[in-house]
């Protein structure tokens, strides 16, 4: 029996790898993506343009402008001569923000009053605008402290654990390891049954000495093997090429990966079994992939979602696996905690695999 | 009745487009793709992606319980941005941080009140520890904690009579999105993502299927030229994608309450311009791949993921390193995201929309040309 399954697995792998284009797409694009996306994803705001209207003749207006010009965040500081020009600069996206320093700015500071400045930010880029406002606020506070030094009663000393300099890459690379592994595994599996059905070769498999469970195993194995191989390559790259610290237990990471892949492959085989054509299968895979990525905590934290949606994310294997990947890489998460996050993966796999098997049987009878 | 023969190339295209439309109608999965899937995705994205940190889970450790320490703790417990809870020791909070139960914790050390009450030892310190494995949230935790602390300490200074008015206050005004709801930006961005799936992936699969099944050989036996073949394939999908877009825009306005300050004409122009490169890319992929597995992988990696990560939808393009900024200029979704955010939130600012439309059309021309070059007229 094992020899039969093995030969089926070899056949499935050959079907994927025989075509040089097929070999290529399993290796090159994921690697390119890993590098491009890792460097693309940054939360700092840099190289943005800012506009300034300085109507103040005094010293403090000049001081503020000088400090903004000296800040490394900005690419170009566009000097405007009137408040009316702000609309055009913001509307046309020539600057992310415009600062307005009013006429009485220095006079108010020197008279011991609070001087008011305004900043207009482009709400179309709300996230960057918010971060930029934080930077400008710090510059303004610096000018304020020079103008009127005031003792601070209390301060907070901030320490970022697990990633002291908040290197975004340390977050991004482990997340991409999980996501790209999932993408490959699911596409390989989803297409496996659908392709044979579309080409009409599935019937040949059914009349072979293989029984249904054996065929199913043969259909799931390539996605598992290729996914695990890609995952291994990416883990090695994360550590050796990107310098992401791997503090926790590698065996536990692999244990989690086995159940993660099992859960994902169950979904893949299920979709594959209900699809009559490859097109349906791929669209089905997308209907799983896109929400799985979006609702995993990768793009936006799960805590920010409404509660009913947070509950829904519990069935998303990627959500649990991301916690484990980040936990093992960066946080040296204790074994018990990792196991607690593996448990939902076991449950999900325990549902998707039998469901896929049932659907596979039902559709091949 | 005039047959395709009399009408020449236009008739041939129309006939093929009719055949394609029939094929789409016969396969019910396309109805699902065009209506159900985009709305399902938009629904999930609209609710699922929010960068407005509503309630960050924060731990609070009081190593002393003087009135000042308790007052500050109260300020954290009442802060709307935090879902704060007390931990009895630093050790316990550390474990919770490692176990992903907290995004950060604050320690008020034993000497806090003492230092606060002796001017010589100002500033009294508290410790803010964040979970750096989530850098975005860590930054938010650090900023919000400092904010709560500074509001509290300014108030305390005022109560004790040694506060001077601050020298400068700067008041932010977020145009187009006054309350800073990230959903307003993210929903138009999600539409671009959904349309990339529909435009590029679907086209890539459809044509790759023909190659795989060998049905193109039958077509090559007819007077149809390669360019006519491509045009007839694209047209029904172009219309389908427009229908999808209409559904997405309606959902954005009525379901998610995104303000719509531009015109439908501008949206239509943007969408039509975006579909040119999106469909062209799909065609190019399918003609180059000739099988659905390869085509789907390529569409995923060259269409969907860049539209998500390189379009400015999630990460600010200006802040990326120069070589990657150069790559983003080739991503049609980048211009579509900018255009949609402008039409929805700012209105018809043609100074932004026109360049976006032109760039998309130019990319479309290049991609279509490449697709035409790659598609052989005859079987070799």
Lowest mean pLDDT among B82-86, B92-96, B112-116, B206-210: B206-210
Domain B56-159 carries which CATH code?
3.40.1710.10
Which chain B positions have a beta carbon within 8 Å of A283's beta carbon?
A: 29, 32-33, 37, 201-202, 205
pLDDT of residue B53: 59
Q: Measured between alpha carbons, how far is residue B117 from residues A136, A302, B70 in Å?
A: 32, 41, 14
User: What is the pLDDT, as a whole number, of residue A317?
Assistant: 96
Predicted-complex ipTM score = 0.82
Cα A245 to Cα A327: distance, rounded to the nearest angstrom: 11
Does residue B332 surpass a pLDDT of 50? yes
Chosen from A68, A160, A182, A334 to mutate, greatest number of chain B CBs within 10 A:
A160
- The answer to whether A177 faces chain B, any CB pair under 8 Å, is no
Record: contact A25-B349, CB cut-off 8 A: no
Average pLDDT over residues B280-305: 86
What pLDDT score was predicted for residue B28? 65
Provide long-range contacts, Cβ within 8 A and 24+ apart, for A340-348: A341/A256, A342/A252, A342/A255, A342/A256, A342/A259, A344/A314, A344/A317, A344/A320, A345/A256, A345/A259, A345/A260, A345/A262, A345/A263, A345/A317, A345/A320, A345/A321, A346/A259, A348/A263, A348/A266, A348/A315, A348/A317, A348/A320
Question: Which pLDDT band, with edges at 50, 70 and 90, does B176 fall under?
Answer: very high
Mean pLDDT on A96-106: 95
pLDDT score for A101: 96
Q: Nearest CA to CA, how far is B42 from chain A (Å)?
A: 10
A63: contact with B, CB 8 A cutoff: no
Give CA–CA dist A97/B66, Å, rounded. 44
Out of A133, A151, A327, name the one closest to residue B172 (CB). A133
Residue A157 near chain B (CB below 8 Å): yes
Whether the predicted pLDDT of A187 surpasses 50: yes
Predicted local confidence at residue B319, as pLDDT: 86
Judged against a pLDDT cut of 70, whether residue B318 lies above it is answered with yes
Give me B67's structure tokens.
């009135």
The per-residue pLDDT of chain A, averaged, comes to 89
Question: Could you give the percent of chain B with pLDDT greater than 90?
Answer: 40
Cβ–Cβ pairs < 8 A, chains A and B? 380
Nearest alpha-carbon partner for A189 in A230, A229, A231, A224: A224
- Whether residues B345 and A39 touch (CB distance < 8 A) is answered with no
Q: Which of B166, B185, B193, B370 is nearest to B286 (CA)?
A: B370
* Residue (of A97, A103, A61) closest to A82 by Cα position: A103
Domain map (residue ranges) of chain B: 14-49+181-374, 56-159
Q: What's residue B374's pLDDT? A: 83
What is the chain B residue with the closest CA to A125? B185
- pLDDT over 50 (residue B124): yes
Inter-chain touch A143–B167, beta carbons under 8 Å: yes
For residues A334-359, average pLDDT: 94
Residue B59 has pLDDT above 50, yes or no: yes
A117 touches B at CB < 8 Å: yes
Contact between B50 and A305 using a beta-carbon 8 Å cutoff: yes
pLDDT in tens, B13-38: 888 888 878 877 777 666 666 678 88
- What tokens appear for A117 in the block? 């400045």
> Distance from B163 to chain A by nearest Cα, in Å?
8
Mutation site, A299, A315, A338, interface B, largest B CB count within 10 A: A299
pLDDT the model gives residue A109: 93
Res B377: pLDDT: 63
**Residue matched to tokens 């983003």:** B328
Mean pLDDT computed over A100-108: 95
Q: B257: distance to nearest CA of chain A, Å? A: 15
For residues A43 and B184, the model is more confident at B184
Asked if A142 is an interface residue toward chain B (Cβ–Cβ < 8 A), one would say no
- CA-wise closest residue to A296 among A315, A281, A316, A278: A316
Is A282's CB within 8 Å of B153's CB?
A: no
Is B170–A40 a contact, with Cβ atoms under 8 angstroms apart?
no
Query: Would you give the DSSP letter of residue B100?
Result: T
The residue-averaged pLDDT of A166-194 equals: 89
Q: Whose CA is closest to B295, among A272, A270, A24?
A: A24
Instruction: Sort out which chain A residues have CB atoms less than 8 A from B156's CB and list them.
Output: 153
Per-residue pLDDT, B31: 63
Residue reference for tokens 């109507």:
A55
Residue A334 at interface with chain B, using a CB cutoff of 8 Å: yes
Q: What pLDDT does residue B75 have?
A: 93
Q: What is the pLDDT of residue B2?
A: 46
Q: Which residues pair with A159 in a beta bridge?
A: B129
pLDDT digits (tens, 9 = 90+) for A264-302: 999 999 999 888 888 888 888 888 988 898 889 887 788
CB contact under 8 A, A123 and B175: yes
Report the pLDDT value the prediction gives residue B51, as an integer from 0 to 100.
63
pLDDT (tens digit per residue) in A110-149: 998 999 999 999 999 888 898 899 899 989 989 998 998 8
Query: What is the structure's pLDDT at B178?
Result: 87
Q: Test B309 with A41 for CB contact under 8 angstroms.
A: yes
Give the chain B residue nearest A168 (alpha carbons). B135
Chain mean pLDDT for chain B: 86
Flag if A40 and B169 touch (Cβ within 8 Å).
no
- List the single residue in B with minimal CA-CA distance to A332: B98
The 3-state secondary structure of A258-280, one letter per residue:
HHHHHHHHHHHHHHHHHCCCHHH
CB B302 within 8 A of CB B332: no
Domains and CATH numbers, chain A: 48-147 (3.40.1710.10), 166-364 (no CATH)
Chain B contact for A309 (CB, 8 A cutoff): yes
Q: Which two tokens stand for residue B118?
A: 């002796």
Q: How far is B126 from chain A (nearest CA, A)?
A: 5
For chain B, say whether A183 makes contact (Cβ under 8 Å).
yes
- Phi, psi dihedral angles at A159 (to 5 degrees): -130, 130
pLDDT at B17: 82
Residue B89 or residue B12, greater confidence: B89
B194-237 per-position pLDDT tens digit: 899 888 888 888 788 878 777 777 777 777 777 777 778 778 88
Give the 3-state secondary structure of residue A207. coil
């Amino acid at each position: 029996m094992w020899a039969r399954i093995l030969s089926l697995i070899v056949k499935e792998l050959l079907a994927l790898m025989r075509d040089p284009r097929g070999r290529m797409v399993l290796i090159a694009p994921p690697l390119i993506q890993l590098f491009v996306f890792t460097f693309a994803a940054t939360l700092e705001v840099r190289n943005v343009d800012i506009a300034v209207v300085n109507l103040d003749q005094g010293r403090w207006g000049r001081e503020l402008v000088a400090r903004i010009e000296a800040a490394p965040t900005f690419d170009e500081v566009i000097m405007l001569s009137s408040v009316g020009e702000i609309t055009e600069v913001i509307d046309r996206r020539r600057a992310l923000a415009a600062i307005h320093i009013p006429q009485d700015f220095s006079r108010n500071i020197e008279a011991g009053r609070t001087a008011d400045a305004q900043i207009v930010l482009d709400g179309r880029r709300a996230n960057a605008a918010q971060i930029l406002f934080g930077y400008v606020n710090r510059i303004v506070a610096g000018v304020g402290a020079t103008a009127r030094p005031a003792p601070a009663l209390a301060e907070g000393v901030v320490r970022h654990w697990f990633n002291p300099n908040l290197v975004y890459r340390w977050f991004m690379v482990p997340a991409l390891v999980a996501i790209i592994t999932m993408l490959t595994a699911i596409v390989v599996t989803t297409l496996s049954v659908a392709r044979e059905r579309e080409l009409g070769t599935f019937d040949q498999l059914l009349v072979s000495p293989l029984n249904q469970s054996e065929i199913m195993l043969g259909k799931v194995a390539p996605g598992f093997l290729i996914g695990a191989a890609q995952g291994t390559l990416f883990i090695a790259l994360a550590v050796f090429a990107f310098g992401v610290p791997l503090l926790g237990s590698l065996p536990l990471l692999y244990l989690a990966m086995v159940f993660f892949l099992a859960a994902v492959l169950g979904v893949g085989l299920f979709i594959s079994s209900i699809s009559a054509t490859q097109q349906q299968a791929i669209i089905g895979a997308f209907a799983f992939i896109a929400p799985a990525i979006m609702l995993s905590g990768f793009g936006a934290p799960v805590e920010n979602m409404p509660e009913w949606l947070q509950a829904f994310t519990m069935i998303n294997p990627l959500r649990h696996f991301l916690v484990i990947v980040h936990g093992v890489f960066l946080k040296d998460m204790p074994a018990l905690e990792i196991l607690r996050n593996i448990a939902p993966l076991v449950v999900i796999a325990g549902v998707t695999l039998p469901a896929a098997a049932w659907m596979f049987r039902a559709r091949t009878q | 009745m005039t047959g395709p023969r009399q009408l020449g190339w236009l008739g041939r295209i129309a006939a093929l487009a009719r055949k394609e439309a029939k094929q789409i109608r016969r396969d019910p999965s396309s109805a699902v793709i065009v209506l159900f899937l985009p709305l399902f995705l938009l629904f999930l994205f609209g609710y699922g992606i929010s960068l407005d940190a509503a309630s960050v889970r924060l731990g609070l450790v009081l190593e002393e319980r003087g009135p000042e320490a308790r007052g500050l703790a109260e300020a954290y417990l009442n802060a709307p941005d935090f879902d704060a809870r007390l931990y009895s020791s630093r050790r316990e909070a550390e474990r919770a941080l490692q176990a992903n139960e907290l995004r950060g914790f604050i320690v008020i050390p034993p000497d806090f009140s003492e230092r606060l009450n002796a001017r010589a030892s100002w500033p009294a310190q508290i410790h803010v520890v964040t979970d750096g494995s989530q850098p975005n949230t860590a930054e938010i935790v650090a900023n919000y904690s400092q904010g709560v602390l500074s509001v509290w300490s300014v108030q305390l200074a005022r109560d004790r009579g040694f506060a001077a008015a601050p020298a400068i206050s700067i008041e932010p005004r977020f145009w187009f999105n006054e309350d800073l709801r990230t959903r307003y930006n993210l929903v138009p961005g999600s539409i671009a993502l959904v349309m990339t799936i529909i435009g590029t992936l679907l086209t890539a699969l459809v044509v790759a299927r023909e190659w795989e099944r060998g049905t193109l050989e039958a077509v090559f036996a007819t007077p149809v030229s390669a360019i006519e073949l491509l045009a007839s394939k694209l047209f029904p999908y172009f219309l389908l994608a427009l229908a999808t877009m209409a559904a997405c825009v309606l959902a954005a306005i009525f379901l998610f309450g995104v303000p719509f300050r531009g015109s439908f004409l501008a949206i239509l122009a943007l969408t039509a311009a975006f579909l040119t490169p999106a469909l062209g890319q799909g065609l190019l992929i399918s003609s180059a791949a000739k099988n659905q597995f390869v085509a789907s992988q390529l569409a995923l990696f060259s269409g969907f993921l860049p539209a998500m990560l390189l379009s400015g939808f999630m990460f600010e393009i200006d802040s990326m390193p120069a070589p990657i900024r150069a790559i983003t200029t080739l991503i049609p979704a980048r211009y579509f995201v900018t255009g949609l955010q402008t039409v929805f939130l700012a209105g018809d600012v043609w100074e932004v929309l026109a360049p976006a439309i032109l760039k998309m059309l130019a990319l479309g021309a290049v991609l279509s040309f490449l697709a035409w070059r790659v598609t052989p007229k005859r079987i070799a």
